[in-house]
Structure 1
Amino acid sequence: MRQRKGSFSEESFAIVSDRISVSHSDSVKLILEKTYSISDFEEATRDAERLLSELKQTLETLKDSRIDRRPKQFGMCKEELNNRVKQFVYDAKFLVSNATQTKEKLAENLNTCMHTLAKVFLHAQATMIMMVAVHQAQQLGFEVIKVTNSFKSTVNAAQAACGKPLSDPHMRYLMRQATSLATLLSSLLKHLKTLEQIRFIMSVCLFEIL
């Protein structure tokens, strides 16, 4: 997938490739290049698992990371992450609401969700590696992990409930999973809000040094 020159995505791809691992950024690109169909729900789950595995590797490397953290880069990555999480909230709502329709429509929504999720992982890792406080970066990673695990459960529930009436037990289970996912996404967005304070502190420190 080509990124336009100078874009925030390009910035995050560069950070993840250079500071973490080329394979991590390649995994994101592979997902973005895929088109998930009605036969690809299990593949989507495997791809989400791969993203989770790589994020956990990133968490392990944070303590030993020694890079030049720059407030401007952190701000760009964090802003893009916040935008992608908000987009994922929107996409996940459509995935759940369209479970009453055809599997083709559900697969279309799954495709959109997976592409957005991949971008969430990309910008999350770039943001984490740019953070000064390791515990804050780890907390961000844990929040993303919880959201992704809940999303996987929601996808499985949506596949089982697809085409069934709202009174069906599978549909009621999907609603419970969707509520759990919504709660975790809200928590992630609140956590990202607190990162604004970190950005401000980093900017003040840089100003004092200069």
Structure 2
Amino acid sequence: MIRINNINFNTDMVKTTENVKKYSEINTVFGAENSSNIDDEKGLSVEQEKVSPKGSSSPQHLKNAPSPIITIAGEKKLAAIVVDTKTNLLYTYDDKGNAKTVYSVATGKKYTPTRKGIKMITNVEAYPYKTAYGTKRKKNPNDYGPNVIIIENINPETGKIYGRNGQFIHGNNNPKSLGTYASLGCIRMDNEVIKKIAKEAVKNSYVLIQ
């Protein structure tokens, strides 16, 4: 022990070291908290960014795309469109099963839900639906937007069509409804988007609703 001018160097050095350590720990904790908050904020901004009805091809929005693989009559097939009713999102896929674009859509209300299953595109109709005799879309064409993609039910065991349930993919007359449960079972899309989807639609291709 060395004493100079009545100062105990051992004691003072220990105290100084302890203070530096505490200060360092405080800075470390504070810095970690700030870093965590920044990371969280960044994460939230990415994860909670809503998909637009106009569509997104962002990897962040496509990373959770559902699988388009379906089984028809014992054979593996790829759906061209998958609708996720839990998130009100519609995904389109290329012929290799890669997700291309995701869109925010409206699906069926609680008591008129969009029915799940494998469907087949059998026709594409255009406004004002003059040939759709005796249908709601002929009587009230504005409710359906510029196009209606007709989808019919498929029996996955046989691959055969067994009829329509009146639930199709079409445009809308209420843009605010997109992203919500608002329809009588149909899948509503942005009116400009449905034009694009209708042009890309291939007859006899599959749609998976889950």
TM class, shorter-length:
under 0.3
Higher RCO (CA 8 Å, separation ≥ 6 residues): 1
Q: TM-score, normalised by structure 2?
A: 0.22
Structure with the higher fraction of residues in helix conformation:
1
Structure with the higher fraction of residues in strand conformation:
2
Higher radius of gyration, 1 or 2: 2
